[in-house]
Amino acid sequence: EGIGRLEYVNADVTDQKGLWAIVEDIAAKEGRLDACVAAAGTLGAAPCLEYTAEDFEHIYRVNVNGVLYTAQAAGRAMEKRQNKGSIVLVASLAAQNAIRGADASAYASSKGAVVQLSRSLACELAQRGIRVNSLSPGYLYSELVMFSCAALVVDYILTSRD
């Protein structure tokens, strides 16, 4: 008693029904689902006046819809088994703070939507004993972040010369 398992799943978060099925399979195998971390995210930096509709919508499909579908899947599995649980939605520091010099308006606004989504889901699911919270981490070391930071440094150097 008291020893649980953690299962990591790499899935297409834009496939709502597929995601629901994956989480249901996990919950059925384990007999319950106590927690879920929805950490979907993609960046797609471009100047705000140049985003194509497709690029902007892709960022929202992954960052907002994908997080919602993951939270839905977990909440459905918890409710079906009448167990209380916790769902954590991963947003970003960019949800609260604009990043000067970064072409990240789509990313930042999508992560702001995740913060508000967590608040709304928390209100809706509290009566079922399911907690929902969000985390807004800062930058994590990754190739994507390093590439973006390098581009900002080069841009700063080139534009700050007299």
As a whole number of angstroms, the distance between CA 24 and CA 33 comes to 9
Which position among 107, 139, 141, 156 bears the catalytic label? 107
Residue 107 falls in the annotated catalytic set:
yes
* Cα distance from N-terminal residue to C-terminal residue, the chain: 67
Query: Based on C-alpha coordinates, what's the Rg of the chain?
Result: 18
Q: Got the DSSP string for 93-132?
A: GGGTS--TT---HHHHHHHHHHHHHHHHHHHHHGGGTEEE
CA atoms within 13 A on the CB side of 76: 17
* Rounded Cα distance, 37 and 35, in Å: 7
CA quadruple 135, 44, 61, 140: dihedral, nearest 10: -20
* Contact (Cβ atoms closer than 8 angstroms) between residue 38 and residue 88: yes
* Residues noted as catalytic: 107
